[in-house]
Amino acid sequence: QAQLVESGGGSVQPGGSLKLSCQASGFNLNYYAIGWFRQAPGKVREDVSCISSANDKAYYADSVKGRFTITRDSARNTVFLQLNSVIPEDTAVYYCATVTTYYSGVDLTKCQESEYRGQGTQVTVSS
C-alpha cells in the first residue's frame, strides 16, 4: 500500500528549529516531486515548499524563504523540511504530498498536490 508518513513535529519556542520528515512506503519517492503544505485553524492552506523530482529546483513561500529548507535523501526514500528561526505564525499541521510542478522559465513557481498525501504532523511555536 502506497503511503506518505510525516514525522518530526512538536512544540518549539520562537527562534527554535525542527526537522520534519516525509517518508514514503510502497512506492519510490525519488520519481516524484514532493511538496510540503500547512494548514492552520481558520486559515487558508499554504503551499510552503516543494522540490523537483530531479532535486535541482525548489520553491519556497515568501513567508518561509530564508528560514526553511527542503531536501531529499534518496537512499531513505524521504524528503525533509528543516524549519529554522520559527515564529508563532508557523504553527500549523504540516503535511507532505506528491505534486505536479509548474515553472516560469527556469524557476519553480508552483506545486499542486497529485496522487499521494500524508496525514500531517503538528508544529506548535509558542513561548
Series of mean pLDDT values for 10-residue runs along the chain (127 residues): 95 98 94 97 94 93 98 95 98 97 93 94 97
Beta bridge partners of 102: 110
Q: What is the pLDDT of residue 91?
A: 98
Position 39 scores a pLDDT of: 97
- pLDDT at position 83: 98
Please compute, for residue 27, the number of CA atoms within 13 A of its CA located in the half-sphere on the CB side: 15
Burial class (CB in 10 A: 0-12, 13-18, 19+), 80: buried
User: What pLDDT shows up at residue 95?
Assistant: 97
What is the rounded distance in angstroms from the CA atom of residue 91 to the CA atom of residue 103? 28
Residue 13 φ/ψ, nearest 5 degrees: -80, 155
Cα(113)–Cα(119) distance, rounded to whole angstroms?
14
Residue 114 pLDDT: 93
